[in-house]
Homo-oligomer: A and B are copies of this chain.
Amino acid sequence: MDARVFQSYSARAEGMKNPIAKELLALMEEKQSNLSVAVDLTKKSEILELVDKIGPYVCVIKTHIDVVEDFDQDMVEKLVALGKKHRFLIFEDRKFADIGNTVKLQYASGVYKIASWAHITNCHTVPGEGIIQGLKEVGLPLGRGLLLLAEMSSKGSLATGSYTEKTLEWFEKHTDFCFGFIAGRRFPNLQSDYITMSPGIGLDVKGDGLGQQYRTPEEVIVNCGSDIIIVGRGVYGAGRNPVVEAKRYREAGWKAYQQRLSQH
Query: Using a CB–CB distance below 8 Å, which chain A residues touch chain B?
Result: 40, 42, 64-69, 71, 93, 95, 97-102, 104-106, 109-112, 124-131, 133-134, 149, 152, 154-159, 161-163, 166-167, 208, 210-212
Given contacts A42-B105, A99-B154, A124-B97, contact A212 B111 (CB under 8 A): no
Among B125, B133, B154, B208, point to the contact of A158 (Cβ < 8 A). B125
Main secondary structure on A side of the interface with B: loop
Copies in the complex: 2
* Extra pairs beyond A69-B110, A161-B162 (15, CB < 8 Å): A42-B109, A66-B111, A97-B97, A100-B211, A126-B157, A126-B163, A127-B211, A128-B156, A128-B157, A128-B158, A129-B155, A129-B211, A130-B210, A131-B154, A158-B162
Decide: A210 and B106 in contact? CB cutoff 8 A. Answer: no
Query: Can you report 22 A-B residue pairs in the complex whose CB atoms are below 8 A from each other?
Result: A40-B102, A40-B105, A42-B105, A42-B109, A64-B105, A66-B106, A66-B110, A69-B111, A95-B97, A97-B126, A99-B154, A99-B210, A125-B158, A126-B157, A128-B152, A128-B154, A128-B211, A130-B210, A131-B211, A134-B210, A156-B166, A163-B163
- B69–A109 contact, CB under 8 A? yes
Interchain CB contact (< 8 A) of A211 among B133, B154, B161 = B133
